[in-house]
A and B are shown apart, each in its own frame.
Chain A
């Protein structure tokens, strides 16, 4: 290390530092290959003329653009980008890892939380940014943190997590409709009901592992959805339940303009729908933070360590006297409970629930967030949720692509494609997710991160 420090940059290999002749040759090859590949696809287009005859429309200009892009791109890569990347890599390997963490690295969780609390003010209460981005992302953060307990910590692959989300949402919708109870009473009840369903699911699948567990949980998710569709007397089937009561502020004021204690009347301000959105934003933020807090606390408790031990090696767990049945059930129940909280929040936010909202794709997205974030890491999962949910939202606004591909181009159709490509790339670069390292829950001398290569994903 020390000798490396004193030495200045090692000279780069000669052929890497801008060998333009070589780059030119490579660019020519790339251009030729592109020409060969695209001459029939792009260069010629078959069309019908006015007499319904098939004619060939040459598009040499467009073909030329493709060839030039390929050639220039290849030239830039060989001549500048490649050497730059190589020297960057070399510099990185020489860099001494500083043991002193920067202020940002030390306090960034607190900074992030402060930012989240100020967020509605920062975006000026803009409905799009608070509702479509803020609330939407936070719901998924919370769901993914809940699923993280089951998948990331206990290593039980659950493909039907959305079922608990559905149970929570319908619990709130039905109980508030029939019993007229308030949101604050129904929120914990929805959590408890979901946890109960978690245990009911847990019992039969305890002896299953890995793929088999995944299949059964997938089936469970579908069963819940089909029950919601077909049990029409209670759930109104595919019509769903509408005009669900809004959440109120502990009975102090409500967000229903008809109520005598509507927020506008209590504070004597102009009526607006924004208040409710901002209230919901803070509500889901607090719920998500509660999930994170409980997860962090549980990780340091014996039960949390047992979950992680279960993921690492179930047989060894039993040899240490750990009741793996109870351990799995608590993982299922705790994860399901947070799904239920999120579900009742969802119902209060939408004012409408139907089985359409709880399809398998939702489970898959939540699981993808957990895996992409790095199993077990709360930070990674939060980042992944921002990327996945915020990313798909922001890709709706690809209007600048119209400038390139012409007015007829509809960028919205390509967002899922771009999104898939982005996910594949993330998994290639970071196969363990954004944050692959595991933070130990206890230490004797110093807290060292455990590299992702040692942890296991669990076998069910």
Chain B
């Protein structure tokens, strides 16, 4: 099999800017409004989103700033430099395992959602396999191509999120924003926790520790990364606000996927686009696709840094059956949700602890 080789495997600052929303916007965005609404009153979740967003931006900045201190060095290299080789290998393995888990979760989640809304009779396993095959195809190519693909899809995803927002303005009920600030502190803490997990893409921003090494001269990268993260927070704020103002707090907290429901609410009079949700599904599948591709590629990248002599495709073909197997483990959709929460906690804890420890060591060594 011949592959087309790009002249270089380098990426630019703006690729990171786009990669962040591509990674983070996925399944969690579809039900974040429900999670926030269930612990807060009326529109108070906005506050939690803003606090959670600030925390996520801080984490992102820390990750990118740290990684950009070691330009063109892989995670394994600079971690070995900061701590020692065995621990660096162990941490890389943790991230590889995390990447595999994320792909499995996304594959299963998109299969479950498609099964619920689109394909009534097609078995979940078949949808999952088809989706995974496309992901494998994207990962087996060039790495910089993935980032170019993100740049292609990103505007479409933003556009569709805007569309959902603008078109559902007609259904907004102003009364739904009241009462203001009646949530207790416990509710805010719970909601902030949920927003951090969701906004960090279940901790996927940790993959940036790997990807910054592809940038030749990462001086401006931290700023761009913060900007990319802000766009994610903006989109989530918009979607959450629309869900609450259209459905009210109670209904939002009782909808399985409020964001999908929002797209389903939009109805054009007559004509071709009478049903907007078909378009929404196509685009959101793309969003989940980019997430899965990056997570898969990050796992492959980790393996490559551990075993630099082995061909990339061998890793891909070794990982794919494992991912497919993992994705078929949950019995029903609540178990998929539980798995998501578990992976999210694992990923976020891993990312945050690794970043903080590396920072501390970096400062002490300096």
Partners in one complex: no
**Interfacial residues, chain B to chain A (CB-CB below 8 A):** none
**Interfacial residues, chain A to chain B (CB-CB below 8 A):** none
